[in-house]
Each structure stands twice: as structure tokens, then as C-alpha cells.
Amino acid sequence: MSAQPAHHRILLKLSGEALMGDDAFGINRATIVRMVQEIAEVTQLGVEVAVVIGGGNIFRGVAGGAEGMDRATADYMGMLATVMNALALADTMNKQGLTARVMSAIGIQEVVEPYVRPKALQYLEEGKVVVFAAGTGNPFFTTDTAAALRGAEIGADLVLKATKVDGVYSADPKKDPNATRYTSLTFDEAMVKNLGIMDATAFALCRDQKLPIRVFSIFKPGAFKRVVLGEDEGTLVYA
């Protein structure tokens, strides 16, 4: 008898940097294909998956030219970078046998459809993977905040923050060999310890909505599936 998923609907927060692999910027094809294969494994369990994608990998390529730029302008450039990533992610998903839909918080209807909550919920219920692009559509807000917002809007059971580290540690594990991984933390404990799991706005939104966050490594093979099955993977932050 196969294990049953512990979650019905999840919001996966992917940083743009997660798509780079070992490259300096841009999208590493092998990396994005591997991530999509892991997402496909989870959808085969009957779990509804939505994704919020960052744009740091694309924006990194123009970062020098953006130095000294108005913050709002730079943030809009970052939003466009997330759209590029979302298109690449969705295209890879469709080629791997998934059905993906990209929804943007800023209007570029000729490229992707606008974010409309009822439509997003319909897609999820139909078994499609929804990729949310352009953050919240507003400057001064991060894609972490977009993940918290969209997670709350679609009624996700869990927000998964995919990182390069397999959870939240008491100290930087690269610098401190005695650093220990937290299995779980309350929101209040994480704030007192100043662990910086998400930006303050995103963290407060998840706390207020009692929307748990699990931090895990997207680079650890099979970790995504283990999280969805409720196994001890990464760090759970809960209300």
C-alpha cells in the first residue's frame, strides 16, 4: 500500500537562483528538468501544486547596469525576470507531461494570462500546476511575500520554501560544524531567534493566517516528495 500525502494543496516557493545550477546566472537546463521531474512525482500523488518563482538568476545578469537605479524601476525589472522564469518552468513542465498554466500579477496578456483567483483555483482542481509570476505586482514586495499571499489566497495547506540548505539551523552550517537543524519551530520562536526564514512581511502574513512554512533543500533528491508525505525533512514553522 503506497503512502498517502500529508497535504492536499501546496505552494512551492522557488528562488530564481535555484534554476541556475552551477551557472553564474540564467537557467541551467538539467537543473530545471530535475526540479520539474520532482514536481511531477508529487502531482502523481494527487497533490495540487502551485509555484511562485523568483527572478534573481535573470536579474543577476543585468545587476551591474541596475546599480543606482530607482528601487521601483528595479523591482519592475525583477518582476519581468520572474515571468521569464515562469515561462521556462511551465514549458519544461508541459514537455515532461504536466499541464502548467502561468498567471501574472502584472498585465501582459499577449504572453501569459493575468492572475485571477477563481481561475487559479479551477486550474488546481483540474490537476494543472499553476505558476504565479511577477510577485505581488507591486514594487517593494518580495516573492516571499507573493508566496505567502498566494498561498493564503488559494487555501494552501503548506508553503514550501525551497532553498540550498536542508532546513533552518541554529547557525550557518557552512561556518559552524556544531550547528543543529531545527525539526520544527513556532513562528514566535523563529522571530525571537531572528532566524530570517522569510522577509518580515511574508512571515507575518503566514503567521497571521496560520499558514505553516516548511524550509527544505530543493537540491536534495527526493526531499520534495518526502516533505509532501509528511516525513522528517527540513524544518516546519507553525503557529
As a whole number of angstroms, the distance between CA 174 and CA 199 comes to 22
Domain 9-238 in CATH: superfamily? Acetylglutamate kinase-like (3.40.1160.10)
21-41 pLDDT per residue, tens: 889 889 999 999 999 999 999
**pTM for this prediction:** 0.94
As a whole number of angstroms, the distance between CA 190 and CA 53 comes to 24
As a whole number of angstroms, the distance between CA 205 and CA 115 comes to 20
| pLDDT over 70 at 2, yes or no | no
For 43-74, the DSSP string reads HTTT-EEEEEE--HHHHGGGHHHHTT--HHHH
- In this prediction, residues 215-227 reach a mean pLDDT of 94
| pLDDT over 50 at 228, yes or no | yes
187-204 pLDDT per residue, tens: 999 999 989 899 999 999
As a whole number of angstroms, the distance between CA 167 and CA 196 comes to 12
Nine cell digits for residue 23? 551557472
- In this prediction, residues 4-21 reach a mean pLDDT of 92
Binding residue numbers for UMP: 55, 75, 136-143
Domain ranges of the chain: 9-238
Binding residue numbers for ATP: 13-16, 56, 60, 163, 169, 172
122-139 pLDDT per residue, tens: 999 999 999 999 999 999
Give the closest residue to 108 by CA, choosing from 76, 143, 130. Answer: 76
142-185 pLDDT per residue, tens: 999 999 999 999 999 999 999 988 999 988 888 898 999 999 99
Residue 37: HSE in the Cβ half-sphere, 13 Å Cα cutoff:
9
pLDDT of residue 172: 86
Query: What residues does 214 pair with on adjacent strands?
Result: 160, 236
Binding residue numbers: 13-16, 55-56, 60, 75, 136-143, 163, 169, 172
54-111 pLDDT per residue, tens: 998 997 776 666 678 899 999 999 999 999 999 999 999 999 999 999 999 999 999 9
1 pLDDT tier (thresholds 50, 70, 90): very low
As a whole number of angstroms, the distance between CA 32 and CA 27 comes to 7
Q: CA–CA distance from 119 to each of 56, 83, 149 (Å)?
A: 27, 18, 16
